[in-house]
């Protein structure tokens, strides 16, 4: 399969899986504390994937790799930015918001990627990118300001989701320069395992486990958690890390402007979440802005894949 075709197949699957993840998170945290559910999810996913890498390496299916202090240091940094800040805060903030609004706020990630790239790496913004930023944040204000004013949207949940998006964008940019194992199984496993441990430590410190009663966990929440562990973590996160290696952070994060539409529709259809006309308008404005950002900054790396990238096919 040609590299370009593989990229688009993985992109589309990532859009769909991530769009349904907001619904799954909302259902999972209904009876499982949010940070604890995220910690459990990533510890199990990461442990399984790293164990699979270790087993395949012992069987000779993977060349031996050196995993030293530098790799674990970068894994720790990404565990804090992508997982504790990105996914942990998302799950925690989702308890105060509908799954559709959570997805919409999460859709601002490419906007934050562009801003951070400008501030940190001095990357220039084209006129279309500036227009996209204006539209994106204009739509965000259209969504947030009136709702916060009348109390229909949680301030604490909104702030948590915005910080989550910024943290994820920061981790995405750092990951393009991080020193991680070539094997996707190894790097994904390390990141999820370390990220899950960090989230669980914070969850424990906040006393979430004291509020957990196994007898009160519903079958729906358990099924949603299993979906998040297997499909959303093991499949989608692996796809995302692979895309970060062979494309650009902007293209890898295009799920942020397609998945929210899926999240809003699923929340409305399954959880009967209200769908106000202002939300639909804000969604259109935000996604138009993000689409402008992505189409002007997400060109595939045109250089020939390095030997490391060629080996990054799992």
Report whether pLDDT(56) > 50: yes
pLDDT tens sequence across 251-274: 776 776 678 888 888 888 888 888
Quote the CA–CA distance of 292 and 298 in Å, as a whole number. 10
Comparing 82-86, 156-160, 210-214, the range with the smallest average pLDDT is 210-214
Structure tokens at 215: 């007898």
Q: Name the most confidently modeled range: 39-53, 55-69, 105-119, 238-252.
A: 39-53
Report whether pLDDT(302) > 60: no
- What is the predicted pLDDT for the residue at 31? 93
Matching residue, tokens 């270790």: 54
| Spans of all domains in the chain | 3-310
Quote the CA–CA distance of 269 and 247 in Å, as a whole number. 34
Report whether pLDDT(225) > 70: yes
Return the DSSP state at 208.
G
Q: Determine how many CB atoms are found less than 10 A away from the CB of residue 238.
A: 21
- What is the predicted pLDDT for the residue at 75? 95
- What is the predicted pLDDT for the residue at 294? 63
Query: How does the average pLDDT of the chain come out, rounded?
Result: 83
pLDDT tens sequence across 65-86: 778 899 999 999 999 999 999 9
Percent of all residues in the chain with a pLDDT value above 70, rounded to a whole number? 88
Percent of all residues in the chain with a pLDDT value above 90, rounded to a whole number? 36
Report whether pLDDT(20) > 60: yes
Read off the pLDDT band of 227 (50, 70, 90). very high
Task: Considering only residues 311 and 37, tell me which one the structure prediction assigns the higher pLDDT.
Answer: 37
Average pLDDT score over residue span 46-57: 90
């Amino acid at each position: 399969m040609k590299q370009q075709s593989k990229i688009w197949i993985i992109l589309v699957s990532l859009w769909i899986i991530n769009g349904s993840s907001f619904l799954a998170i909302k259902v999972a945290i209904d009876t499982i504390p949010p940070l604890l559910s995220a910690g459990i999810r990533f510890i199990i996913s990461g442990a399984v994937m790293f164990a699979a890498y270790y087993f395949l390496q012992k069987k000779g299916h993977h060349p031996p790799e050196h995993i030293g202090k530098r790799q674990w240091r970068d894994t720790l940094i990404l565990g804090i930015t992508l997982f504790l800040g990105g996914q942990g805060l998302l799950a925690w903030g989702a308890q105060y918001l509908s799954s559709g609004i959570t997805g919409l706020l999460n859709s601002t990630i490419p906007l934050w990627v562009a801003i951070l790239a400008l501030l940190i790496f001095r990357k220039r913004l084209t006129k279309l990118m500036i227009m996209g930023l204006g539209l994106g944040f204009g739509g965000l204000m259209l969504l947030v300001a009136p709702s916060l004013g009348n109390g229909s949207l949680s301030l604490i949940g909104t702030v948590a989701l915005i910080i989550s998006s910024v943290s994820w964008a920061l981790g995405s940019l750092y990951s393009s320069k991080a020193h991680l194992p070539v094997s996707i199984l190894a790097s994904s496993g390390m990141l999820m395992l370390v990220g899950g441990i960090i989230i669980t430590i914070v969850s424990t410190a906040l006393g979430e486990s004291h509020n957990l009663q196994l007898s009160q966990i519903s079958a729906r929440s358990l099924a949603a958690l299993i979906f998040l562990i297997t499909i959303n973590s093991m499949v989608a996160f692996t796809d995302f890390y692979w895309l970060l290696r062979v494309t650009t952070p902007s293209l890898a994060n295009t799920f942020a402007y397609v998945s929210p539409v899926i999240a809003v529709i699923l929340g409305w259809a399954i959880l009967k979440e209200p769908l106000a006309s202002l939300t639909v308008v804000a969604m259109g404005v935000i996604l138009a802005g993000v689409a402008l950002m992505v189409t002007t900054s997400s060109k595939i790396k045109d250089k020939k894949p390095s030997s490391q990238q060629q080996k990054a096919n799992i």
